[in-house]
Amino acid sequence: MSGVLDPRTSPPFPIVAKTMLGDSQLRKNVRHATDVIQTKRARVVGEMPDWQALREAGRQIRSHTMENLDFYLEELERNCTRAGGVVHWARDAEEARQIVVALVKESGSDEVIKIKSMTTEEIHLNPALEAAGIHPYETDLAELIIQLGEDWPSHIVVPALHKNRQQIREIFQKKMNLPELGERPQDLADAARMFLREKFLRVKTGLSGANFLIAETGGVCIIESEGNGRMCLTLPETLITVAGIDKVLPRYQDLEVVLQLVPRSATGERMNPYNSIWTGVNAKDGPRNFHVVLMDNARTEILADEEARQTLNCVRCGACQNACPVYRQTGGHAYGSVYAGPIGAILTPQLQEMHHAQSLPYASSLCGACYEVCPVKINIPEVLIHLRNKVVEQKGVSAEALAMKMMGMVFMSERRFRAAQRMGRMAEVPLVRKDGQGVGWIGWLPGMLGGWTQVRDLQEMPKETFRDWWEKRGKDGK
């Protein structure tokens, strides 16, 4: 694999974005996929007369959970333990990886079947398993495409949406040794079924993420489509679930809200094909050993930030990615993290203590499309602006900061503002070229502002400001 998506080593967003913009096939694939999901989402959301009430309830449930997170985590642990599960706590990624590797070894297996889990991607679990001599098999069709293609996920819900059927066929032909494989989606899905079924029936240890952990019952809920999740959750002898501490839901009843919000937002389905809910272990149904790893990994730092803590309310539906005009141009890899798109732009820097990820809060035009579709009403633009402020404070003195400071002073005085308007008119003179109609245009700007004139002109400043006109008009007696 050409590495993992790691915000600590990934180049800044604008640099990777530029490369992605040059990949017309990728852009076409991303555009097609996001268009399809958006259209489906709009249709099934439109069917719900109480959608806004559901969003509001979702927001309140998630906020309430975060305010009482310690209570609910302890309640979850008690109930899960009572039902025969074992709960583990991990302060950070390293601790989580150690716990999981030790549990897999304890299970006596050197293979694990995995149902897609963003959390295990976040902590780069697969390389750690491989280093310990354990082979992980991704079983979600998209994750399988990524794993066999030695690629990176680019979307929370549809991680391989940047690949089209021809590209997927090539990967499968090579890695599954199926030279005759057709390129109809049905052919490709059948190949994945054949390839994985043997593993489902054989491998004794399963590894999953969680959509929700239910404090009231100690249960876990997983939402999926293909049935690979059910295979991993049901057939192995040992099941290990890795989840961020933010995944808790207070009550079983709260599922009535999230099970309406998530499927419609994520894939545009009224309900996704499968939801599994299980609690601890059941002597006659499913794994005999069940472990839950509750991981912090900087989530408590996000919780401590009054203005950014709503980030934790995220239910990982990916709706913001599909709606985002920036994501739709670049796809997910530009974000340098498994969490791409608007939610990634706010989550990733915070998971990294604001290091290594400074360009992400600026990877947005603040158009607000993400907020509009978020099923739990996370005000992503507001958090982006808050994080930009943190970046500015961290960066200290810079040319941009000096210019901003100066502009700030200008706006605090009418006299200085007028002087700046005059100065602007003088400063632009050497840059202005007249066009055929005698209108002046600027086609080149220096320094940072040069980004503007790459593809855009700028009309010269008018000779008279509005306030000059207004004053003259007053004097003229009108």
Partner 1 sequence: MRVSLFITCYNDTLFPETGKAVVRVLERLGHTVEFPSGQTCCGQMHWNTGYQAEALPLVARFVEQFRNAEAVVVPSSSCVAMMRDHYPKMAAELKDERLMAEVEALLPRVFEFSEFLTKRLGLEDVGAYYPHRVTYHASCHGLRNLELGDGPMRLLRAVRGIELVPLEGLEQCCGFGGTFAVKNADVSSAMLAEKTTAVLNTDAEACTACDNSCLMHIQGGLHRQRTGVKTVHLAEILAGDEVGR
Partner 2 sequence: MASEVMASSAKAEILRRIRAANGRASSLDAGGVEAEWTSVEREYRRGTSREREAVLELLEDRLRDYDAHVVRVANTGVAATVAKILSGRGKKRMVVPEGVAAEWLPAGFEFVMDAGLSATELDGFDGVMTGSTLAIAETGTVVLQNVAGQGRRAVTLVPDYHLCVVRVQDVVETVPEAMARLQQTAGLTTTFFSGPSATADIEMTRIKGVHGPRFLDVVLVA
Nearer to partner 2, 91 or 473 (CB): 91
DSSP state of 184: S
What is the footprint of partner 2 within residues 19-78 (CB under 8 A)? 29, 32-33, 36-37, 49-50, 53-54, 56-57, 60-61, 64, 66-74, 77
- Residue 253 is a binding residue for partner 2 (CB under 8 A): yes
Whole-number minimum distance, CB 217 to partner 2, in Å? 5
- Residue 270 is a binding residue for partner 2 (CB under 8 A): yes
Q: What residues are paired with 219 via a beta bridge? A: 214, 279
What is the footprint of partner 1 within residues 271-330 (CB under 8 A)? 325-326, 329-330
Whole-number minimum distance, CB 379 to partner 1, in Å? 9
Q: How far apart are CA 65 and CA 51, in angstroms?
A: 21
Parallel/antiparallel/unpaired status of strands 432-434 and 440-442: antiparallel
For partner 2, which residue of 16, 112, 156, 231 counts as binding (CB under 8 A)? Answer: 231
Whole-number minimum distance, CB 318 to partner 1, in Å? 19
Instruction: Provide CB contacts within 8 A for 409, sequence distance 6+.
Output: 416
- Residue 42 is a binding residue for partner 1 (CB under 8 A): no
Whole-number minimum distance, CB 364 to partner 1, in Å? 7
Q: How far apart are CA 167 and CA 151, in angstroms?
A: 12
Q: Which x/- pattern over 400-439 shows residues binding partner 1 (rule: CB under 8 A)?
A: -x--xx-xx-xxxxx--x---x--x---------------
Residue 259 near which of partner 2, partner 1, none (CB within 5-8 Å, type-dependent): partner 2
- Residue 469 is a binding residue for partner 1 (CB under 8 A): yes
Q: Which x/- pattern over 67-96 shows residues binding partner 2 (rule: CB under 8 A)?
A: xxxxxxxx--x-----x----xxxx---x-
Q: What backbone torsions phi and psi does residue 463 show, to the nearest 5 degrees?
A: -70, -25
- Residue 175 is a binding residue for partner 2 (CB under 8 A): no
What is the footprint of partner 2 within residues 114-153 (CB under 8 A)? 139-142, 145
What is the footprint of partner 2 within residues 299-318 (CB under 8 A)? 300-301, 303-304, 309
User: Are the C-beta atoms of 85 and 280 separated by less than 8 Å?
Assistant: yes
| Stretch binding partner 1 (CB under 8 A), from 218-226, 232-240, 266-274, 467-475 | 467-475
Report the 10 Å Cβ neighbour count for 129: 22
Q: Give, to the nearest 10 degrees, the angle between helix 414-428 and helix 399-411.
A: 130
Place of tokens 């069917």: 47
DSSP alpha helix (H) spans, 203-284: 228-234, 255-266
Q: How far apart are CA 467 and CA 459, in angstroms?
A: 19
Q: What residues are paired with 279 via a beta bridge? A: 219
Nearer to partner 2, 246 or 326 (CB): 246
Q: How far apart are CA 302 and CA 213, in angstroms?
A: 20
Token pair listed for 231: 């295979």
Token pair listed for 452: 């503007």
Q: What is the signed CA dihedral for 125, 126, 131, 137, rounded to 10 degrees?
A: 140
Region for residue 295 given its phi and psi (left: phi exceeds 0; alpha: psi -120 to 50; beta: otherwise) = beta
Residue 407 near which of partner 1, partner 2, none (CB within 5-8 Å, type-dependent): partner 1
Q: Which x/- pattern over 181-220 shows residues binding partner 2 (rule: CB under 8 A)?
A: ----xx-xx--xx--xx--xx------------x-xx-x-
Q: Which residues bind partner 1 (CB under 8 A)?
A: 13-14, 17-18, 21, 325-326, 329-330, 361-369, 371-372, 382, 385, 387-392, 401, 404-405, 407-408, 410-414, 417, 421, 424, 441, 443, 448-452, 454-459, 461-462, 464-471
